[in-house]
Amino acid sequence: MTLTPRDDARRHDTPPLQGRGRGWGMSAGALDRLSGYARTMRREPTEPEKRLWARLSRSQLGGFKFRRQAVIGSYIADFLCPAAGLIVEVDGETHADAQRDVRRDAALTELGFRVVHIGNTDVMHNIEGVLAHLLGTLQAMPARWAPHPNPSPEGEGLTRI
């Protein structure tokens, strides 16, 4: 899934973002290319990604729903649990640039996500340990969306007078 801010920039009498694309500081063309690349990565996963997805898909891990190759800003997350704000990166050859990973993780953290890196070798040879680690991480994370402090009484069995 691609997270894209709304196109209706005139809503609430705000000035349009003329010439600036659809948000995230990217042009529409760049966002389309990134989304296309994510689709390709979903169709052609690495073997570790395939194995991990087989265990994360269909809410198999503690009922947590994951998406794979999710576009977030100008980045593609290997796996995203939107409800918890957890990003799981399976590190292999494409994660060889440590400085780039640090900048990327900082940007994603700034957006409110937590990033966990898992090695290819761990996925291939210790999948149960990886799953236990991810489930523990998810269960220890605070709720991403707290309930409203003053909820409406409607829907709670109360009747209007």
**CATH number of 126's domain:** 3.40.960.10
User: Does residue 117 fall inside a structural domain?
Assistant: yes
Distance of CA 53 to the CA centre of its chain: 14
Helix axes 127-140, 47-56, angle to 10 degrees: 50
* Distance between CA atoms of residues 34 and 76, nearest Å: 8
User: Does residue 124 fall inside a structural domain?
Assistant: yes
pLDDT means per 10 residues in the chain (161 residues)? 39 40 69 92 96 98 97 95 96 74 94 96 97 98 73 57 54
The per-residue pLDDT for 97 is 77
Q: How many beta carbons lie within 10 A of that of residue 61, not counting itself?
A: 18
User: Does residue 17 fall inside a structural domain?
Assistant: no
Nearest CA to 82 out of 145, 7, 148, 146 is that of 145
For 111, phi and psi rounded to 5 degrees? Answer: -80, 0
For 38, phi and psi rounded to 5 degrees? Answer: -65, -40
Beta strands in the chain (DSSP E): 67-72, 75-81, 86-91, 114-119
User: Does residue 94 fall inside a structural domain?
Assistant: yes
User: Does residue 34 fall inside a structural domain?
Assistant: no
> In the structure encoding, which two tokens stand for residue 36, read together?
């296309």
The per-residue pLDDT for 103 is 94
The per-residue pLDDT for 17 is 42
Please give the DSSP secondary-structure letter assigned to residue 157: T
The per-residue pLDDT for 33 is 92
What's the total number of domains in the chain? 1
